[in-house]
Structure 1
Amino acid sequence: MDTIDWTRTKAAVWRARNAHLREIRRLDPIGLDQLLGVERQKSLLCQNTERFLAGKPANNALLWGSRGTGKSSLIKALLNRYHDDGLRMIEVDKDDLVDLPDIVDDIRELPQYFVIFCDDLSFEEGESSYKPLKSVLEGSLELPPENVLIYASSNRRHLLPERMQDNDQARVHNTEIHFGDAIEEKISLSDRFGLWLSFYPISQPEYLTIVDHYFAAWEGDRKALHAEAIRFAQGRGVRSGRVARQFFNARS
């Protein structure tokens, strides 16, 4: 594995084909103040990250929920806020998680604090590539390193597909629910993330607030702008911060 100079490098991406980390030179400049409508999630993730950078116990984080609601942007914004405090980030694709233990081994003794960023993380029925992730999240014989956390975004709360028939094995004993093996296996992965942050579709007033943020310098008819923004969201079938940004890109 190629050596990265982490004193000057803020982030890297894992390239499995060549088994090396590639330095990211053009970072997404997204800032925490640009993310609207997710104040609770932002506050909790920042608190967790600050504890991590202070050498205190902190949790791996799973950001799950509706598409376009700021999950990935929030993780990327953390790097821009905290890189001067020693935060570094490594992006690893879901298909490359088999290499995760080796990546972690190479950084566990470094002085920087690393967030492994797994974007759009989910697994299909029969996939086993999540197993190396499970061992890194909670360790095996060796404890997980204190300078590495996993922050993942996903549209699925439990990361794995959930079927109606999975519930057939569930039973109740002395008022306690005991899940079947299929559900236990699926829940066991997401349970290793100590911090769960949920993201839901936003209301129309929240959507228009984000639109107004992007169009802060707009001097035209604000009511007409809102009507156009609503039609744009209806055409996409969803209201979200991502759609507000796309409307701004198309309209400005």
Structure 2
Amino acid sequence: MSIDWQTTRAAIWRRHRQALRAVHEIDRVRLSDLLEIDRQKAAIVTNTEHFLKGEPANNTLLWGSRGTGKSSLIKALLNEYADRGLRVIEVDREDLLFLPEIVDEIRALPYRFIIFSDDLSFGHDDASYKALKSVMEGSIESPPENVRVYATSNRRHLMPEYMKDNQAAQMVDGELHLGEAIEEQISLSDRFGLWLSFYPFDQKEYLHLVDALFPNVEDRESLHLAAIRFATAKGGRSGRAARHFYNTYYDQF
């Protein structure tokens, strides 16, 4: 079934059907909901606005700690700019081999598409990243002007990094020559012109997120004590932990 992009803002590639499925219930998160990531938010908003205007814009890699708002930021961009022609297609890592076919369907359309791949990473024997490279930088055909890739990952270079890979590096006439494995790792992440790093929240930042979710609570001391205990039990402070705390205790404060 073909997608009516005039009424559809987002779609997901379904491997078994080998087709796009329209998304009708989109996460309602807004840019204003995302706190403590102002630097990353400003950078990706600027890049996306350039993209929407037909100006030079980068493929973007959002990497770093889990639960810090990477995926939510991309969803918020769709809610912010869908009325200006932004559309999002989500493609899982396992389905990147189909990316050239997906792009063939949309490259002539009058919309701006973000290809969104969440939790992106590759093994050394995984060749699916080659399709991603082709879409971002082209092959014999130039990359589509109306498509950019926004990916999230816990890894800066998208591939596992082993000590043995670094042992292949050599110094030649005072210059560092990296081993082939390292070169391959960097060649993939280098396709992303904009890198945005996300780090774990400290306690003050985490409690700021909790306060935003409980705006009417008067007993902040008890709220904060419960929130700190909750984050400790989960093993870390993050926006996701704050949301999970709210889901658990929203009716108790």
Alpha-carbon separation, structure 1, partners of 2:62 and 2:243: 20
1:126 is displaced (CA, Å) by: 1.2
- Show structure 2 runs of 5+ residues with no match: none
Alpha-carbon separation, structure 2, partners of 1:195 and 1:121: 16
Alpha-carbon separation, structure 2, partners of 1:248 and 1:108: 42
SS in 1 for 2:95: helix
Equivalent residue, structure 1, for 2:25: 26
Alpha-carbon separation, structure 2, partners of 1:177 and 1:210: 44
Equivalent residue, structure 1, for 2:41: 42
1:239 is displaced (CA, Å) by: 0.4
SS in 2 for 1:184: helix
1:137 aligns with 2:132: no
Alpha-carbon separation, structure 1, partners of 2:126 and 2:179: 19
Equivalent residue, structure 2, for 1:105: 104
Equivalent residue, structure 1, for 2:197: 198
Alpha-carbon separation, structure 2, partners of 1:174 and 1:69: 43
Equivalent residue, structure 2, for 1:161: 160
**Paired positions, count:** 250
The amino acid of 1:110's aligned partner reads L
What is the TM-score normalised by the length of structure 1? 0.98
Equivalent residue, structure 2, for 1:12: 11
SS in 1 for 2:3: coil
Correspondence list, 1:70-109, <5 A: 70-109=69-108
Equivalent residue, structure 2, for 1:247: 245
Alpha-carbon separation, structure 2, partners of 1:127 and 1:64: 20
SS in 2 for 1:79: helix
The amino acid of 2:35's aligned partner reads L
1:226 aligns with 2:224: yes
What is the TM-score normalised by the length of structure 2? 0.97
The amino acid of 1:36's aligned partner reads L
Alpha-carbon separation, structure 2, partners of 1:209 and 1:30: 18
The amino acid of 2:50's aligned partner reads R
SS in 2 for 1:169: coil
Identical counterparts, % of pairs: 61
The amino acid of 2:185's aligned partner reads K
Alpha-carbon separation, structure 2, partners of 1:191 and 1:125: 17
SS in 2 for 1:63: strand
Equivalent residue, structure 1, for 2:66: 67
1:137 is displaced (CA, Å) by: 1.0
Alpha-carbon separation, structure 2, partners of 1:92 and 1:143: 21
CA deviation vs aligned residue, 1:152-186 (integer Å, no higher than 9, x gap): 00000000000000001111234332101010011
SS in 2 for 1:74: helix
SS in 1 for 2:155: coil
Alpha-carbon separation, structure 2, partners of 1:108 and 1:218: 50
Alpha-carbon separation, structure 2, partners of 1:174 and 1:62: 34
